[in-house]
Amino acid sequence: MSKIKIGCETYTWAMSGETYKNKLEHIIEVTSKAGFKGIEPDTGFMNGFTDPKVFKEALDRNNIELSVLCHVEDWRNPKETDAERKNADQWIEFMKHFPEAILLLVQMPGQDREHLKERQQNLLTCVNEIATRAAGEGVVCSYHPNSPMGSIYRTEEDYKILLNGLDSRVIKYTPDVGHMAKGGMDPLPIIKQYRELVNCVHYKDMYDNGKWAAMGDGIIDFKGITSYLKETDFEGWIIVEDECDAAITDPDGITMQDGVYIEEVLRPLI
């Protein structure tokens, strides 16, 4: 049996604004019906589910695992602010109840890339410190860069700084193949170069003009990437995060459509 599992991210529903922010169990239900094995909620969707027991009961009702929990912050200062540290420690404590899952750290993109080197170093200092505390509690961490124009890690040169600056003893790397393509990179060679750091992978599709596409409609080589992960004995989660325009009005439908693509195209490869 393959040790690769495929889960779904709540950002597909976040594209609808506030419509689904208090409907996490509905999202879990749709994720399960679409054939996904796990879910990666953003902590902004966890209203009503911050009690690990209550959350686990909702997962069990739908035969879904917590694959990853996504925690987003600014981390613009040389060290965490008091509020940032409090938030991170809250989720570290939560994740102790889900020892097989990953705490994924994501920086909220800024409006520009001014003072880039300083901001890049500040981010590294903050996430390495969070991951060190998490590791002390038995919680596994990963970092996910993104690609909006204000992101401080969005180009290949940025990635060299990031991936050589993460403390690999306590934090690994989640490549997002769509964000990598948006930043001008071919995802597969970067994944190969830093394969030993990869403990989770995000899938989203993109048209050649840079717009996000529904999974399978764009230019991302999901077959090649999935085959490589299988060949190199990747053990972990591929997380689908579909950001196509149709998700704004029909995230449930897009998720069901993605489930069909995964069943027909990707699952035979793993």
Residue 161: the pLDDT is 98
How far is it, in rounded angstroms, from Cα 131 to Cα 192?
24
- So what's the pLDDT on residue 9? 98
Domain 4-269 matching CATH 3.20.20.150: the answer reads yes
Tell me, what's the pLDDT at 95? 98
Query: How would you write 163-223 as a 3-class SS string?
Result: HHHCCCCCEEECCEHHHHHHCCCCHHHHHHHCHHHECEEEECEECCCCCEECCCCCCCCHH
Q: What is the pLDDT of residue 172?
A: 98
pTM, to two decimals:
0.97
Query: Average pLDDT, stretch 74-93?
Result: 98
- What confidence tens digit (pLDDT) does each residue in 49-73 have? 999 999 999 999 999 999 999 999 9
Q: What percent of the chain has pLDDT over 90?
A: 99
Residue 109 DSSP label: P
pLDDT tens digits for range 98-111: 999 999 999 999 99
pLDDT band at 36 (very low <50, low <70, confident <90, very high): very high
Judged against a pLDDT cut of 80, whether residue 2 lies above it is answered with: no
Residue 121 pLDDT greater than 90, yes or no: yes
Question: What was the pLDDT predicted at 230?
Answer: 97
Domain ranges of the chain: 4-269
